Amino acid sequence: MDLGIAGRWALVCGASKGLGLGCARALAAEGVNVAIVARGEQALQQVADALRALPGAGQVVAVAADVTTEAGRAIALAACPQVDILVTNAGGPPAGDRQFEREDWIAALDANMLAPIALIRATVDGMIARGFGRIVNITSSSVKAPIDILALSNGARSGLTGFVAGLARRTVSANVTINNLLPGQFDTDRLRGNFAFMAKQQDADAEAIAEQKRRHIPAGRFGQPDEFGAACAFLCSALAGYLTGQNLLIDGGAYPGTF
């Protein structure tokens, strides 16, 4: 299937590993020019080289910046000649349920709610003026069903979800869509970090916890970042102009609800 986005420019945040990298790889493989952002320069440069080597890849720009800061976002935006596609992402907040202070909440809101909103605000009017835009926010299954040890994620991402639900209806007539992709459990460093936290809390083995979690996923396995990237690329495609304001859960069937 030709996704019809070769030659477009995408700004992909949190893209040196994990789900962001999965999205960058899928877009680069479609011939989309990508500007990839993460804080760690070394991993980012290695990933950029690997993306350039993909068959059919376009330009790849690596930007070392912290997207949770205004200065970092300015650097990231300046490195991308034109943002046709925006994938927002940053690290998840620390695990825990009720111990967090105001500063912890502000940091989580900055990373997982206000940073994506600021990036959308900075790019959406240009997209509307050009008559094409695709925005995908990497959020979490915690928006649909809370994860008890991720209080900050449950709260901050719900705020972003509410904002997107309103704005998406105001931009779609200009062929600018905004959707959220909700990962269940994907095999990344972040997931391993969560298992390590639970292991410490329960005085248990992290691998045993991973196995227990895996058994509860109907697919019988954790997701792979490239599976996540494929869904992202479709949402970013020219074919997906009638698909907006949605929260697409990718979780191997783990969410037990009918809808």
Nearest to 142 by CA among 190, 74, 107: 190
154: contact with ligand NAP by CB under 6 A? no
16: contact with ligand NAP by CB under 6 A? yes
Residue 29: CB atoms within 10 Å: 18
Which C-beta is closer to ligand NAP: that of 42 or that of 258?
Answer: 42
185: contact with ligand NAP by CB under 6 A? yes
Query: Token pair for residue 225?
Result: 């970042």
Q: Cα separation of 72 and 241, whole Å?
A: 30
- Of 38, 124, 156, 210, the residue at the interface with ligand NAP (CB under 6 A) is 38
Q: Cα separation of 225 and 72, whole Å?
A: 25
What value does the CA radius of gyration of the chain take, rounded to a whole number of Å? 18
180: contact with ligand NAP by CB under 6 A? no
- Of 67, 109, 236, 249, the residue at the interface with ligand NAP (CB under 6 A) is 67
User: Per CB under 6 A, which region of 101-109, 135-143, 161-169, 195-203 contacts ligand NAP?
Assistant: 135-143
To ligand NAP, the closest distance from the beta carbon of 258 in angstroms equals 22
Helix axes 225-235, 18-29, angle to 10 degrees: 50
Contacting residues toward ligand NAP, per CB under 6 A: 13-20, 37-40, 43, 66-68, 89-92, 138, 140-141, 183, 185-186, 188-191
